[in-house]
Amino acid sequence: MQLVNLNNGQRSKALERLTTQTPKDITNKILTTLNSIISYEEKLNRDYSIHSYNLVGENTEDKIEEANRIITLAMVPLPLDQMHQALHKCTLVMVKPSQETPADVALRIRAIADGLSDYPADIFLYAVDHIAKTKTWFPSLAEYRMAGEYHFKKRKMLYEMMQNSIKRTNLIDFSFAKVQYK
C-alpha cells in the first residue's frame, strides 16, 4: 500500500468540488463516506472537542486505500496563482497601511499565500471570504489561519489517521527476530 499521488485530472476534479462547496459540507461528506468504508472513532477532549481520530476494528487494505484516496482528494490546495488572486481581491475591500506600496502589498500577498499553502482549497477560500467580511484593516497571516483553523484541524486529523494507518501497514514485521544484548 502506498501514499496516494494524484494526477492532474484528479487534482482538477478535486479542486472543482472543493471550490464549489463549503468546508462544513465537504467535511460532513467525508465523514459520511469514510464511515461507510472504514471503522474509526473520534477521541474527545474534556470539553468534548475532537482530539483525534483512530481506526478501530478490521479494516481491509482495500478499504484503507479507498478512504485514503478520499481524504487526499479533500486536502488539495488551491494553486498559488489562484491564492494570490483571491487574496488580492480581498485586499481591495480593506484599508491598507498608508505607507505601503503596491510592491509591499504584493509581497504580503505572496507571504500569506505561502503561509496558507497547506490549507485545502475550500478552507482557504472560506478563510479569505471570512476575513473580507469581518476585517477592516489588512490582516496578518495569523488572522487568516485563525479563520480557517477549525475546519483545517478536523480535516488534518482525518488525513493523519489515514497516513498513519498506511505507514503502519508498510512497516516490515521484525518481531520474529530475537535480539540479544551483551
Virtual torsion, Cα 133, 135, 136, 140, nearest 10 deg: -130
Q: Are residues 90 and 31 in the same domain?
A: no
Tell me if 3 is assigned to some domain: no
Position 40 pLDDT exceeds 50:
yes
Q: Which segments within the chain are labelled E, that is strand? A: 40-44, 50-55
Tell me if 126 is assigned to some domain: yes
Burial class (CB in 10 A: 0-12, 13-18, 19+), 25: exposed
pLDDT category of residue 172 using cuts at 50, 70 and 90: very low
Q: Rounded mean pLDDT of 113-135?
A: 96
Q: Are residues 99 and 50 in the same domain?
A: no
Q: Are residues 130 and 159 in the same domain?
A: no
Q: Are residues 89 and 116 in the same domain?
A: yes
Residue 117: its H or E element: none
For residue 175, how far is the Cα from the chain centroid?
Answer: 35
Cell of 44: 474527545
The reported pLDDT for the residue numbered 1 is 39
Tell me if 175 is assigned to some domain: no
Please state the domain count of the chain. Answer: 2
Q: Are residues 58 and 112 in the same domain?
A: no
Position 26 pLDDT exceeds 90:
yes
The parent domain of residue 96 ranges over 80-148
| Residue 96: CB atoms within 10 Å | 15
Q: Scanning the structure block, which residue is given the C-alpha cell 469581518? A: 134
Tell me if 182 is assigned to some domain: no
Q: Are residues 43 and 87 in the same domain?
A: no
Q: Are residues 92 and 42 in the same domain?
A: no
Cell of 115: 503561509
Q: Are residues 143 and 89 in the same domain?
A: yes
